[in-house]
């Protein structure tokens, strides 16, 4: 008796194939340009502010004014950092801030918060002695001694004098310093964070000040600050600032207590959504 061969392929919905093909045609050109982005977020908020913001009825609505803060350029020339106007960054941030019940003030005389927006890239200075070593060991040793003698502790916050950049200052700039000081930080995570500081990272820093106190007494009281950054390799700031704002949207006005929020997203504008797949009819598979 001859052996019979049976094909037990699954039943295939007749309408599924055309729908999936349609989705592929729609999404493939987009995915061809999309670059994945992993954004790390550090966020701090004053406890008194948090108690007032997070109520039993939800997040209290607040209004704000944006102020353009400092621009921090890198050692490697990056034209994309200056190509993006502050207005574009602000408009995109405004969309994301709504998710935490923050809205632009209706006039200059109104508003609860003054939000200062600093932007740029961390700076990693190349060690050119490693790139072009000298054959004269004595000259090399003298160079190392000179470097040690001028090793001072530079400033670590945005001010009129700007920054001197070393890895520890980059950590303070983008909020890694609080995470690295945590006692419960694992060795592997500590190593990963320190490795990230060896590469340029795009960042945005939002610092929110009590506008009422500023108007009435001149006191500059910061109520919350959110710092968010991502790897600047193989992406430009034109696309990176969208990823940064999108990833940080859930953290504005929150306190992570030294933890870092880690958000996987994509570089560039827009949102990718996929509608519900409906099966209209199925085609029965017959046995041979």
- Quick: pLDDT tens for 22-42: 333 333 334 456 789 999 999
Query: Does 70 reside within a domain?
Result: yes
Query: Does 22 reside within a domain?
Result: no
Query: Does 130 reside within a domain?
Result: no
Query: Does 10 reside within a domain?
Result: no
Which residues form the domain of 115? 35-123+135-270
Are the CB atoms for 240 and 202 separated by under 8 Å? yes
Query: Does 151 reside within a domain?
Result: yes
Query: Does 171 reside within a domain?
Result: yes
How far from 183 is each of 171, 258, 259, CA to CA, in Å? 17, 10, 11
pTM score, two decimals?
0.71
Are the CB atoms for 34 and 240 separated by under 8 Å? no
Structural domains of the chain, count: 1
Query: Does 23 reside within a domain?
Result: no
Give pLDDT tens digits for 138-177. Answer: 343 344 334 433 333 323 333 333 334 467 888 988 999 8
């Amino acid at each position: 008796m001859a052996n019979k061969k049976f094909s037990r392929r699954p039943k295939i919905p007749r309408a599924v194939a055309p729908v999936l093909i349609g989705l592929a045609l729609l999404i493939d050109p987009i995915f061809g340009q999309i670059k994945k982005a992993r954004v790390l977020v550090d966020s701090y908020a004053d406890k008194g502010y948090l108690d007032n913001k997070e109520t039993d009825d939800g997040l209290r609505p607040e209004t704000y004014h944006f102020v353009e803060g400092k621009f921090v350029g890198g050692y490697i020339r990056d034209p994309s950092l200056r190509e993006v106007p502050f207005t574009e960054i602000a408009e995109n941030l405004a969309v994301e801030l709504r998710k935490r019940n923050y809205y632009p003030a209706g006039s200059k005389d109104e508003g609860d918060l003054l939000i200062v927006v600093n932007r740029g890239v961390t700076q990693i200075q190349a060690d050119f002695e490693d790139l072009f070593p000298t054959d004269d060991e004595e000259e090399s040793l003298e160079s190392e001694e000179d470097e040690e003698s001028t090793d001072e502790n530079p400033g670590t916050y945005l001010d009129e004098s700007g920054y001197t950049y070393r890895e520890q200052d980059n950590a303070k700039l983008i909020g890694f310093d609080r995470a690295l000081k945590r006692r419960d930080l694992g060795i592997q995570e500590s190593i990963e964070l320190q490795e990230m500081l060896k590469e340029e990272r795009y960042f945005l820093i939002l610092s929110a000040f009590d506008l009422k106190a500023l108007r009435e007494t001149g006191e500059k009281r910061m109520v919350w600050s959110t710092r968010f950054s991502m790897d600047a390799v193989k992406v430009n700031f034109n696309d990176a600032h969208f990823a940064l704002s999108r990833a940080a949207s859930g953290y504005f006005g929150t306190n992570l207590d030294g933890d870092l929020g880690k958000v996987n997203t994509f570089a560039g504008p827009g949102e990718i959504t996929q509608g519900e797949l409906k099966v209209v009819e199925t085609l029965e598979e017959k046995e041979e």
